[in-house]
Amino acid sequence: MSLEEEKKVRMTGLSTLTGLVLLVAAASTALPQDDYPKVETSPAFMYIRTPLSFEGHDVSLNCAGGGGTFAYNITSVIGLAADLGGCKFFSNAITVAGVSLGKITDGTNFTFLFGPRLTYRHGRFHPFGEFNAGGDRVSLTCQSSALTCTNATNGATFTKTVFAFTAGGGADIQLSRKFALRLVQAEYLYTRFGNDCPFAVCSRDNNQNSFRLKSGIVIGWGGSASK
């Protein structure tokens, strides 16, 4: 990339950042500052899909469960959120060359994440974006004798806690002053479990790039939401 091209890229990035800052500032001043809950709790369904590959074959680990979010709103736009969730792996069977290897793994996944959130409160529709960082703890047991991992590890369970972060957003629909429906919360989930897992299904990808989906209800506490 030439010096001129680098300068253009930097100017474009600066312009975009400036636009986002101005948008947040405008939203903060345009909305009534007391027309939002100070605290929000959100019990929700959670689904995580992690694409992996080994021996030249693509595999996806599916995990379903639930969790909750605790958010403190500093202003009507800016908030801080703590996100906890747990799920159980399911439907992790694989077929290679027409031969079923059966269910490859069993186990659970638990995420604990924290970070800032930006919400635009316009009428009953409240879209938001957020970035969270924290950890992910996975507990896996190999189930496939065809991959010889059950014998290789004597049926042992692999457990590890690693760094994780999410980036994404969603949208709420306000039902009343106290309750809202979280239509969707879709996020990119990054984890780094490394290559030390003894199971073939999890030892081929140093980093994992997953998709996380959540949906549930939102309960507001304090502020106008409690009236």
Q: How many domains does the chain have?
A: 2
Q: Which residues of the chain have pLDDT under 70?
A: 1-34, 53-58, 92-104, 143-156, 195-205, 224-227
> Are 121 and 158 found together in one domain?
yes
> Are 37 and 109 found together in one domain?
yes
Q: What are phi and psi of 20, to 5 degrees?
A: -65, -40
Chain segment 152-206, per-residue pLDDT in tens = 555 667 788 999 999 999 999 999 989 999 999 999 999 988 766 666 555 556 7
Distance (Å, whole) CA 152 – CA 169: 41
User: Which domain range does residue 8 map to?
Assistant: 1-30
> Are 152 and 78 found together in one domain?
yes
For 1-58, the DSSP string reads: --HHHHHHHHHHHHHHHHHHHHHHHHHHHHS-TTSS-SEEEEEEEEEEEEEEEETTEE
